[in-house]
Chains A and B, each alone.
Chain A
């Protein structure tokens, strides 16, 4: 039976961690994810869970210790944000290439500089090519639900890859919202016990993890890792379906909000999807067919599925909460446009950059973007690609 409560996103993830009760959690504090290890420590101190918590001296160490514990055979996880994730860089790739099914609770925060503690996706987007599965949450409920699904996805024998469960810093992590929590026993049954087949602390069955590989082997190993990422898509969908049939909520690779007959679609990830849905609702009342495609799973990238979902609309705005510094567009826009082209869906697609370092994204802003889409699709207006939403310029004054 679900129970209603009110919680912040950090509280929700810490609550899920207590329920999953992983074997090992090394962590180092960093705003805005600090509360997660802090709350877990409190649960442990109060005897509500028995996870081995390892306070380490840096994120380089927290991910190293998580990798080591997971290789040893323990269900392991950590949490971080921003520069913490950047400091884990080397180990992120090690975790994925060694096929270790560990989980990282990421609270998205911008990367320096300028130094700033607020939300954007530059941390996880920077890590997009490290071989991790990435799942994004719109709100505290999805942060909770996604975390519960993370271990079953990661540990599936078809996958064996690490999973990054992302939520927006402060907007989701610190704002208190209503939430449905599940019973401890139900969550534990859903996640299941961890029984790895091969691990280091396995008497009589020696194994070496992460050996040096000469050129004869490395390319094949990377190809195999990519195959696991491709296979993870079906596993993510299966787990999402299992979650939905058990707890009656959730989405697969993305949520399609009022897109079935939509002329204009805003494609977005994270908390700003809620704002966009509000804008779509208000425009629908005025007779404008607006919809939102909220991407939940960024890695593996659902290229064909996105192209298929967009093929019926007149124009799409692709919203990046991250700059790619490539002089061309945000990372999400680049990948979506490539997906549209390879699927031969030739609709107008515009790259927007919004919400950097915590800049507000409002319902009015979202409506302005829908208006631009309609100008492009219906009036043939040329809109500049790679536009910064809400940027102060002399021209704007």
Chain B
């Protein structure tokens, strides 16, 4: 009964769907582009950013990628535009826009 869920899509016949729509894979939420829900968008100002990294851990959706101790621009595939990062930034490096 373990099926390759990557082969299932919105056109699949009912017989091909899994029982109770169980998903036989981990970390599949990455494939769900919830960024479409966003009505307000954060803009990242690299000039003002001091790389204090207070913003990254407060993001509820893990949309502030950090590598080698430095943050990069937002992951807009999953950012829902909640604005928490803007409030957390002490340097005004994040601005929410409509």
Contact = CB atoms under 8 A, between A and B. Distances in A.
Interface stretch (A18-26, A84-92, A218-226, A312-320): A218-226
A287 interface: no
Count class of interface residues, chain A: 20 to 34
Given A205-B2, A208-B28, A97 B20 contact: yes
A99 interface: yes
A237 interface: no
Nearest to A224: B14
A220 B20 CA distance: 10
B24 interface: yes
A98 B18 CA distance: 11
Contacts of A209: 20, 22
Interface string A176-215: 0000000000000000000001100000011111110110
A223 B12 CA distance: 14
Contacts, number: 59
Nearest to B8: A217
B21 A213 contact: yes
B23 interface: yes
Count class of interface residues, chain B: 10 to 19
Interface string B4-25: 0000011111100101111111
Contacts of B23: 207-208, 211
B19 A160 contact: yes
A197 B17 contact: no
Greatest chain A CB density within 10 A among B12, B17, B28 is at B17
A216 B22 contact: no
Contact of B10 (A100, A207, A217): A217
Contact of B17 (A206, A207, A208, A221): A221
